[in-house]
């Protein structure tokens, strides 16, 4: 029934209008019969009937669906208002879009990395068990097979435990061999995580004892696609890793990866998992290289597990003080382990995001407050013309909603754009590869916060205006000299707060940028330009004798040196910035003999001849290794400058003898040269004393090639691969990257965080400036009449401009003051991530404050400039 009325509502409205018209005529006729004049009779009839528009709207409201009709009217009206006030609408939209969009993108990243559950069913019960060096050594140290097995046997808190060793192996059998990241895991590994294979099966727990004869492998999804053409027949076949056969029993689902970086031998995510079996000899080994994970029993908390394991560790320590003296245990929940090194940075970003959201809300509020005062007049007129208070408030609410929804939509678009930008500038391996789309919950959060803010500050002034309407504002008219002082206070507070928050973000970002700049201008100790690096690792079985290994590298390097475009080539056991480093104690000959734990420690690496020359590490005195030393251990050592200073502060070390405890039998080595220091552990790290042996001294299975080229080192990559295969057709190379890339990758996360912080600071800065502009220009608009009168009375334009500006700048200055105070407190939190930058660097505070004030001044000036176009006569005539 109501439908019929709804569709006939226009006709019905006309009918009602005609009816009222007839009523008026009749009433007027009666009035005239009583002797009134025609005009007066009509007027009296009108007064008696009341406001026809209102009556008609009351009637037609009955014919429409609840508020649907009204809603449509309000929307149309709102849209018209927004188009009319383009400036306000645009600034609100931008503010909402920035606030909602940027925030959502960052929230999504944080959510994906920190909040979302790990993709392992048992994730919340999995802890990583480390050895801990007491009293204040490494807190997360790998453990030994002997210790792991004892933990596994004697603990009371884990359902099961597994050991992991991340390795790198050669997968052969295809056209070209491939160096691939692998992990040896004990059979319980997959069942601890609670994951299963997509095809086939994972390792069967408890199979350890009898499976030694038949090693098994589980493939990662990508290597299955890449190397085995996604063939299901791969199950049961044999693959060859480092010349050893493994039976493929399963393929993991897409996206499965598990990699703990801390003290991992390989720094890449494993793609193939193989079963780890301990021989009788390794079972007793105290060499530390295993990462271990455990599945807590359901009723055991991590804290209980920690104390139970500490008790077990002290028992083990008491049993075997020789190997376990001062070693305890440290349990780390899996999530904390996997996000530990980035959560600090992400929290920082999250805080920045929160501040930007605050500023956005403050801006929306300011804008709405400013506009609401301007609308008091409009609202008053509408109420005088017969609009009901409810109706007016509802209309304003609709309008605010409209704007908020548009802002939300714009925010969604911006958020998607931001997210793809974040993905593109994020360092490799930081973000989960796929499955990261804008999070709905996250978007809803940001949208609700800023929209609620917009609505709140849109609606409160409207209610306020309705309360006093229509009398007050109409009486004030355009004639008020300075209106709404009381309401102005809230705006001023908000803008001041905005400026303060913006300054906090600005100083934070400036500090990070300065720190990053300091970091990138650090001299790494060598020349990274035009150097190509590559990782060569051969299986143990391939070259049994040390001479064979030495000869392989000598032949390989000779072949590379002969390539066109190569200026020099050499190799190093531990490349700078690549992550791994070996350290040990050293005993200088002729000094008091100390136990190993009290000796000074140095990093130890092995190099091929020409290494220092190739990387451009200066030889300060003595000589570097010659060609003959590449084939046989000669007992010579080249030391870094810092090692020379540490061990021989007042004498020349050349010719001195020092024992480096790195081998089974350690004989003293003779110092033959001193070279410059290298920032081995990364640009931000301290220089560490380093000893270089020639390759045969340790004869690693792996070396990193370093090749100085004439032009872009990338051009050499195909020729290099061919050369390696020509020297040994079963030998792949991996991680072929220019040295400069390694260098920039080592600071990638810092760069990422710095860029994002800078973006936030810019947004905050922008919003604060918009806030000041809005405040001042609104101020000018409100006081146009006052200004007109003053000018008519002879005030100078310039002095008026100055006065108006002063108000805006006064607020900005208060904001800057508050901002500096807050920054001094808050930036102290940055201390740990800043490199050679003091968090209270006065220069940065000065520059940022000046910059903010200057732009605030500019924004204020642009807003105030309008005064110069005010014509006093026009203003005064307007009333």
Please report how many Cα atoms fall inside a 13 Å half-sphere around the Cα of residue 490, on the Cβ side: 17
Residue 836 as a binder of another protein (CB under 8 A): the answer is no
Residue 15 as a binder of another protein (CB under 8 A): the answer is yes
Pattern 354-383, another protein, x by CB under 8 A: ------------------------------
Contact with another protein (CB under 8 A): which of 48, 471, 555, 567? 48
In the complex, the smallest distance separating the C-beta of residue 18 from another protein, rounded to whole angstroms, is: 8
Give the residue carrying structure tokens 């020297």.
Answer: 727
Q: Cα 687 from chain centroid? A: 28
The region that residue 55 occupies, defined by phi over 0 for left and psi between -120 and 50 for alpha, beta otherwise, is: alpha
Give the residue carrying structure tokens 């997968």.
Answer: 171
| Contact range with another protein by CB under 8 A, out of 46-54, 79-87, 312-320, 506-514 | 46-54
| Contact range with another protein by CB under 8 A, out of 49-57, 218-226, 431-439, 581-589 | 49-57
In the complex, the smallest distance separating the C-beta of residue 421 from another protein, rounded to whole angstroms, is: 57
Residue 22 as a binder of another protein (CB under 8 A): the answer is yes
Q: Cα 311 from chain centroid? A: 39
**Using an 8 Å Cβ cutoff, are 618 and 667 in contact?**
no
Residue 9 as a binder of another protein (CB under 8 A): the answer is no
Residue 19 as a binder of another protein (CB under 8 A): the answer is yes
Residue 629 as a binder of another protein (CB under 8 A): the answer is no
**Using an 8 Å Cβ cutoff, are 864 and 804 in contact?**
yes
Query: Considering Cα of 477, then 483, then 484, then 486, what sign does the dihedral take?
Result: negative
Q: Which is nearer to another protein, 33 or 651 (CB)?
A: 33
Residue 871 as a binder of another protein (CB under 8 A): the answer is no
In the complex, the smallest distance separating the C-beta of residue 385 from another protein, rounded to whole angstroms, is: 14
| Contact range with another protein by CB under 8 A, out of 24-32, 131-139, 512-520, 838-846 | 24-32
Q: Which is nearer to another protein, 27 or 697 (CB)?
A: 27
Residue 43 as a binder of another protein (CB under 8 A): the answer is no
Residue 44 as a binder of another protein (CB under 8 A): the answer is no
Q: Cα 303 from chain centroid? A: 30
Q: Which is nearer to another protein, 46 or 797 (CB)?
A: 46
Collect all residues with Cβ–Cβ distance below 8 Å to 443 and sequence separation of at least 6. Answer: 100, 104, 411, 412, 415
Residue 27 as a binder of another protein (CB under 8 A): the answer is yes
Residue 387 as a binder of another protein (CB under 8 A): the answer is no
Provide DSSP, 742-763. HHHHHTHHHHHHHHHHHHHHHH
Pairing of strands 531-537, 702-709: antiparallel
| Contact range with another protein by CB under 8 A, out of 14-22, 271-279, 538-546, 788-796 | 14-22
Residue 589 as a binder of another protein (CB under 8 A): the answer is no
Residue 26 as a binder of another protein (CB under 8 A): the answer is yes
Rounded Cα–Cα distance for residues 177 and 169 (Å): 10
Rounded Cα–Cα distance for residues 740 and 520 (Å): 12
Q: Which is nearer to another protein, 49 or 232 (CB)?
A: 49
In the complex, the smallest distance separating the C-beta of residue 378 from another protein, rounded to whole angstroms, is: 24
Q: Which is nearer to another protein, 49 or 468 (CB)?
A: 49
Residue 5 as a binder of another protein (CB under 8 A): the answer is yes
| Contact range with another protein by CB under 8 A, out of 51-59, 114-122, 270-278, 298-306 | 51-59
Q: Which of 685, 384, 366 is nearest to 497 (CA)?
A: 366
Helix (H, G, I), strand (E, B) or coil at 630: helix
Q: How many helices (H) and strands (E) does the chain have?
A: 28, 21
| Contact range with another protein by CB under 8 A, out of 47-55, 134-142, 248-256, 547-555 | 47-55
Rounded Cα–Cα distance for residues 163 and 142 (Å): 10
Q: Which is nearer to another protein, 75 or 389 (CB)?
A: 389
Please count the residues of this chain forming the interface with another protein, following the rule CB under 8 A. Answer: 20
Rounded Cα–Cα distance for residues 282 and 383 (Å): 90
Helix (H, G, I), strand (E, B) or coil at 841: coil
In the complex, the smallest distance separating the C-beta of residue 59 from another protein, rounded to whole angstroms, is: 5
Query: Considering Cα of 558, then 562, then 568, then 572, what sign does the dihedral take?
Result: negative
Residue 49 as a binder of another protein (CB under 8 A): the answer is yes
Q: Which is nearer to another protein, 18 or 413 (CB)?
A: 18
Pattern 315-354, another protein, x by CB under 8 A: ----------------------------------------
Collect all residues with Cβ–Cβ distance below 8 Å to 596 and sequence separation of at least 6. Answer: 585, 661
Q: Which is nearer to another protein, 62 or 540 (CB)?
A: 62
Q: Which of 396, 377, 374 is nearest to 385 (CA)?
A: 377
Provide DSSP, 769-821. HHHHHHHHHHHHHHTHHHHHHHHHTT--HHHHHHHHHHHHHHHHHHHHHHHHH
Q: Which is nearer to another protein, 52 or 784 (CB)?
A: 52
Rounded Cα–Cα distance for residues 500 and 606 (Å): 55
Q: Cα 351 from chain centroid? A: 12
Collect all residues with Cβ–Cβ distance below 8 Å to 410 and sequence separation of at least 6. Answer: 93, 94, 96, 97, 100, 101
Residue 828 as a binder of another protein (CB under 8 A): the answer is no
| Contact range with another protein by CB under 8 A, out of 58-66, 156-164, 374-382, 692-700 | 58-66
Residue 54 as a binder of another protein (CB under 8 A): the answer is yes
| Contact range with another protein by CB under 8 A, out of 25-33, 415-423, 437-445, 548-556 | 25-33
Residue 18 as a binder of another protein (CB under 8 A): the answer is yes
Residue 277 as a binder of another protein (CB under 8 A): the answer is no
Q: Kindly list the residues in this chain that would bind another protein in the complex (CB under 8 A).
A: 5, 15-16, 18-20, 22-23, 25-27, 48-51, 54-55, 58-59, 62
């Amino acid at each position: 029934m109501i439908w019929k009325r709804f569709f006939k509502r226009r006709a019905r409205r006309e009918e009602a209008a005609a009816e009222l018209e007839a009523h008026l005529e009749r009433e007027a006729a009666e009035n005239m019969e009583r002797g009134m004049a025609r005009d007066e009779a009509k007027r009296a009839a009108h007064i008696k009937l009341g406001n026809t528009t209102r009556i008609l709207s009351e009637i037609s409201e009955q014919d429409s669906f609840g508020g649907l009709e009204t809603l449509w009217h309000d929307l149309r009206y709102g849209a018209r208002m927004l188009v009319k006030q383009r400036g306000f609408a645009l600034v609100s939209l931008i503010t909402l879009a920035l606030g909602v969009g940027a925030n959502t993108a960052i929230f999504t990243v944080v959510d994906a990395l920190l909040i979302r559950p790990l993709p392992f069913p048992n994730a919340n019960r999995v802890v990583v068990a480390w050895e801990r060096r007491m009293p204040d050594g490494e807190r997360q140290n790998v453990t030994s097979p002997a210790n792991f097995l004892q933990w596994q046997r004697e603990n009371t808190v884990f359902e099961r435990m597994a050991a992991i060793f991340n390795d790198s192996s050669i997968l052969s059998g295809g056209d070209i061999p491939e160096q691939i990241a692998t992990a040896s895991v004990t059979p319980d590994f997959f069942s601890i995580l609670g994951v299963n294979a997509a095809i086939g099966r994972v390792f069967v727990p408890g199979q350890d004892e009898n499976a030694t004869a038949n090693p098994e492998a589980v493939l990662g999804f990508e290597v299955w696609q890449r190397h085995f053409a996604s063939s299901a027949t791969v199950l049961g076949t044999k693959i060859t890793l480092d010349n050893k056969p493994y039976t493929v029993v399963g393929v993991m689902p897409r996206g499965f990866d598990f990699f703990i970086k801390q003290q991992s031998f390989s720094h890449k995510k494993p793609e193939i998992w193989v079963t780890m079996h301990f021989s009788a000899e390794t079972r007793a080994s105290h060499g530390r290289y295993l990462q271990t994970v455990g599945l807590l029993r359901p009723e055991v908390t991590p804290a209980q597990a920690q104390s139970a394991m500490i008790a077990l560790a002290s028992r083990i320590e008491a049993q075997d003080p020789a190997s376990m003296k001062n070693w305890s245990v440290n349990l780390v929940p899996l999530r904390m382990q996997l996000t530990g090194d980035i959560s600090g940075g992400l929290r920082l970003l999250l805080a920045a995001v929160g501040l930007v959201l605050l500023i956005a809300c403050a801006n929306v509020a300011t804008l709405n407050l400013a506009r609401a005062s301007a609308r008091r007049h409009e609202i008053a007129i509408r109420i005088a013309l017969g609009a009901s208070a409810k109706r007016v408030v509802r209309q304003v609410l609709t309008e605010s909603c409209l704007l908020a929804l548009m802002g939300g939509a714009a925010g969604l678009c911006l958020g998607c754009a931001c997210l793809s930008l974040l993905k593109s500038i994020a360092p490799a391996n930081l973000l989960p590869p796929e499955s990261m789309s804008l999070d709905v919950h996250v978007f809803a959060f940001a949208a609700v916060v800023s929209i609620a803010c917009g609505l709140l500050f849109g609606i409160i002034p409207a209610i306020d205006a309705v309360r006093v309407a229509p009398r007050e504002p109409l009486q004030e008219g355009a004639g008020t000299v300075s209106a709404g002082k009381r309401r102005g206070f809230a705006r001023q507070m908000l803008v001041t707060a905005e400026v303060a928050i913006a300054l906090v973000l600005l100083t934070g970002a400036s500090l990070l940028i300065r720190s990053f700049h300091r970091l990138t201008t650090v001299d790494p100790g060598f020349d990274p330009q035009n150097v190509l690096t590559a990782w060569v690792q051969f299986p143990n079985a391939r070259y049994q004798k040390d001479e064979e290994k030495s000869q392989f590298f000598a032949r390989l390097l000779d072949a590379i040196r002969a390539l066109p475009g190569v200026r020099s080539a050499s190799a190093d056991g531990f490349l700078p910035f690549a992550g791994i480093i070996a350290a040990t104690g050293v005993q200088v000959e002729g000094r008091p003999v100390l136990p190993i734990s009290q000796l000074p420690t140095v990093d130890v690496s092995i190099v091929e001849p020409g290494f220092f020359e190739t990387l451009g590490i200066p030889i300060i005195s003595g000589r570097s290794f010659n060609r003959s030393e590449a084939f046989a251990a000669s007992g010579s050592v080249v030391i870094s400058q810092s090692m020379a200073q540490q061990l021989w502060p007042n004498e020349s070390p050349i010719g001195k003898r020092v024992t480096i405890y790195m081998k089974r039998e350690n004989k003293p080595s003779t110092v033959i040269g001193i070279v410059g220091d290298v920032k081995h552990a990364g640009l931000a790290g301290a220089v560490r004393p380093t000893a270089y042996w020639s390759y045969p001294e340790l004869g690693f299975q792996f070396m990193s090639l370093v090749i100085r080229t004439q032009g872009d080192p990338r051009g050499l990559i195909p020729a290099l691969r061919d050369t390696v295969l020509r020297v040994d057709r079963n030998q792949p190379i991996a991680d072929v990257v220019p040295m400069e890339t390694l260098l920039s990758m080592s600071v990638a996360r810092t760069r990422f965080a710095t860029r994002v912080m800078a973006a936030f600071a810019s947004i905050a800065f922008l919003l604060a400036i918009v806030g000041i502009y809005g405040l001042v220009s609104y101020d000018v608009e409100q006081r146009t009449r006052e200004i007109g009168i003053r000018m008519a009375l002879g005030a100078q334009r310039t002095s008026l401009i100055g006065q108006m500006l002063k108000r805006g700048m006064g607020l900005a200055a208060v904001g800057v003051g508050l901002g500096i105070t807050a920054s001094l407190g808050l930036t102290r939190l940055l201390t740990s991530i800043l490199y050679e930058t003091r968090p209270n660097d006065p220069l940065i505070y000065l520059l940022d404050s000046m910059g903010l004030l200057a732009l605030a001044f500019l924004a204020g000036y642009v807003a105030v400039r309008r005064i110069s176009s005010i014509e006093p006569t026009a203003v005064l005539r307007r009333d």
